[in-house]
Amino acid sequence: MNAPNTFQTIPGQDDLQQIPRDLSFHPSGTTDPKVLTRAQVEHYNQHGYIKPLDIFTASEADGLRRYFDDLLQKYVAEGKDSYSISSAHLRHGRVWDVLTNPKIVAVVSDLLGPSVVAWGSHFFCKMPKDGKTVSWHQDASYWPLTPSKAVTVWLAIDDADRGNASMKYIPGTQVLGHLTYKLSETDESNILNQTVPEVERYGAPVYVELKAGQASLHSDLLLHGSEVNTSDRRRCGLTLRYTTGDVQAHMGWHEKGVVVSGPPPANWGNRPRPTEE
Ligand SMILES: O=C(O)CCC(=O)C(=O)O
């Protein structure tokens, strides 16, 4: 039987609650990073994120944006919306290439160590004035993975700034464990379905302003979200997700895996590059 190439973006609450998960922060133990500085590794451990990272040149970023424009047009023509392109590396060779890009893998390996599995790719594309938010949440809360050792590289496809609803983080919240959340209210117009309330008690937000081709990186336990895009400019980011080979994936999520560093772990799949661009 062929491995699946689509997955539910938001697993059911009941399914998640049945999985015993260790949702505690695992700091990076790297003392001798190859591409990051020690200060960046330390910043990740203390604050839960690193930004900005220069990944693609302006002309490479331009090529990627044009690729995404075409891809989005195809999805929209099929009646899908600008947040629907998820697990894209299982269907689109060009996204698989970005997920396995050596420059990005080197950054992630500096934090996670020698065994790294790439397993997620989802475009969060905020169209101008589309009214959608991403409410404050922790990624690990949604994922059937244990222990919580995943990091996200958020690659800017468009320039992202406060004006067009860049992401925002609450620094240091990755060490607080699994925070209490409520299911989001309809009027939040949340792209996901959980909201951590009253986040002011955890500190002030930091806004993740990036040029197209730059990236930020955050822990799966860091509180983050983004507001409504009230501008006339699109704000698209490609989220790329990575974890270590010892992490157990439930609900069949091991089938999303692409081994990008180290020997293939027995508990993960290793998906080849799709032929479709
Ligand atoms: O792009 C956004 O606005 C939110 C992205 C997000 O929640 C994530 O990277 O996990």
**Domain housing 249:** 27-258
11 domain residue, yes or no: no
Report the separation in Å between the CA atom of 225 and the middle of ligand 1, taken as the mean of its atom positions. 6
134 lines ligand 1 (CB under 6 A): yes
- Which tokens go with 27? 């700091």
Sign of CA dihedral 100, 164, 134, 197: positive
- Per-residue pLDDT reduced to its tens digit, 48-57: 999 999 999 9
CA 137 to chain centre: 12
Per-residue pLDDT reduced to its tens digit, 185-240? 999 999 999 999 999 999 999 999 999 999 999 999 999 999 999 999 999 999 99
For residue 147, give the CATH number of its domain: 2.60.120.620
Atom nearest to 137 CA in ligand 1: 7
Name the nearest CA neighbour of 227 among 132, 129, 87.
132
The CA distance from 25 to 49, in Å, is 12
DSSP 8-class letter at 181 = -
pLDDT confidence bin for 275, thresholds 50/70/90? very high
Count of domains in the chain? 1
Tell me whether residue 276 is in a domain: no
- pLDDT tens-digit series, residues 67-113: 999 999 999 999 999 999 999 999 999 999 999 999 999 999 999 99
Residue 167: its pLDDT value, please? 98
* Residue 169 within any structural domain of the chain: yes
Q: How far is the CA of 39 from the centre of ligand 1 (A)?
A: 25
Query: pLDDT band at residue 1, thresholds of 50, 70 and 90?
Result: low
* Ligand 1 atom with the shortest distance to the CA of 167: 3
Per-residue pLDDT of 232-263, as tens digits, reads: 999 999 999 999 999 999 999 999 999 999 99
SS3 content of the chain, % helix, strand, coil (to 5): 30, 25, 45
Distance from Cα 1 to the centre of ligand 1, integer Å: 33
When pLDDT is averaged across residues 125-133 and rounded to a whole number, the result is 98
Q: Mean pLDDT across the stretch 39-51?
A: 98
Angle between helices 102-112 and 38-47 (to 10 degrees): 60
19 belongs to a structural domain: no
CB of 226 closer than 8 Å to CB of 133: yes
Least confident segment among 9-23, 122-136, 210-224: 9-23
Residue 216 belongs to some domain of the structure: yes
The pLDDT of residue 210: 98
Does residue 226 line the site of ligand 1, with CB under 6 A?
A: yes
In a domain, residue 275? The reply is: no
| pLDDT more than 90, % of the chain | 97
Asked if residue 73 is part of any domain, the answer here is yes
110 lines ligand 1 (CB under 6 A): no
2 has pLDDT over 90: no
> For residue 236, is it within any domain?
yes
DSSP helix/strand/coil, 209? coil
